[in-house]
Amino acid sequence: MMLSCIVGPTAAGKSAVAMQLAQQFGLAIISADSRQVYRGFDVGTAKPTAAERALVPHYGIDVADPAERYSAHRWAESAHVWMRDAEATGRAPLIVGGTGLYVRALVEPLDAVPALDVDRRAALAPFLDALSMPELERWCTRLDPARAPLGRTQRLRAIETALLSGRRLSDSLRPSDAGAPRTSSIRARYLVVDPGPILATRIEQRVHHMLQAGWEEEITRLMTTTAHDAPAWKASGYAVLREAVEGRMSRAAAIERVIIETRQYAKRQRTWFRHQLPAAQVTSLNPLAPDAMQQAMRWWQSVSTEGVSVA
């Protein structure tokens, strides 16, 4: 099987490139975004609009309840079904998103992440939530060193997994030696979309656009239906902006913090794609280049001639 994947940091312009390719070549988009899987969390995750979904079939969006913990393993299993469904309609699937672990789980199947007891997690949460970033790093370095360099959410998940299951989360996130589908039948080509230094400005502009589109109003609605500790609140910016909506932080301070945290997240994404993708299978694209779409089309045509099929 050949996978065609458009990846890159948040706000880079992946979706715009993918939409144009999908319309030009009659493709279906498989979202590889760990935030867009949750129903109701729409504005702050930059989900495609209803009009865009009407133009191009999208899979992997609104597939989980906000209270569910959605894993890369589960997404990869579903993605194989979505790809087959897309091909059954005569459309080649195009993987699009910034969650690198989702994409890797599709190419290199992972072990199932340990299930954690809900009550024990709830009892542990107040202790972990009170830890500072340096404290979390020390705990993570002791319990799961491979996850220590990551962000707060990833460190928290690694620590609670180690404490409650006795297993390292990083072990589960390595390629599995058992189970299907096997990696020997899968190849991938990646179009890494990144506009360079201007990304910081694009992130700030996107945050303000989301606010104008009703992000705060969406959060107000979600607060009436979604538990305070639901996994979906971990989507970038939501927890911080909720503090402003609840009056626990000034709006200006919350916006500044969302922008900073999103830039930090984009930096981690860039690092992941730089070091985790095989260089020989990567094509880089600056979406602001005058001939960006011509480059993207040439990339797709070169990949499609290798054969895009789903086993």
Convert the pLDDT of each residue in 251-276 to its tens digit: 999 999 999 999 999 999 999 999 88
CA atoms within 13 A on the CB side of 166: 0
Q: What is the pTM of this model?
A: 0.79
- A 10 A CB-CB count for 110 gives 20
**CA 124-130-133 angle, 5° bins:** 110
Task: Please say if the pLDDT value at position 212 is more than 90.
Answer: yes
Which band of pLDDT confidence, cut at 50, 70 and 90, is reported for residue 120?
confident
CB 43 within 8 A of CB 214: yes
> Dihedral through CA 208, CA 214, CA 217, CA 221, nearest 10?
-120
CATH superfamily of 2-111+181-304: P-loop containing nucleotide triphosphate hydrolases (3.40.50.300)
3-class DSSP assignment, residue 213 = coil
pLDDT at residue 122 in the model: 72
CA distance 114 to 166: 9
The token pair at 181 is 């589908």
For the segment 48-63, the average pLDDT, to the nearest whole number, is 97
CA distance 274 to 263: 16
The owner of tokens 């319990």 is 143
* Of residues 93 and 160, more confidently modeled: 93
- Residue 26: partners with Cβ closer than 8 Å, 6 or more residues away: 90, 91, 92
For the segment 230-247, the average pLDDT, to the nearest whole number, is 94
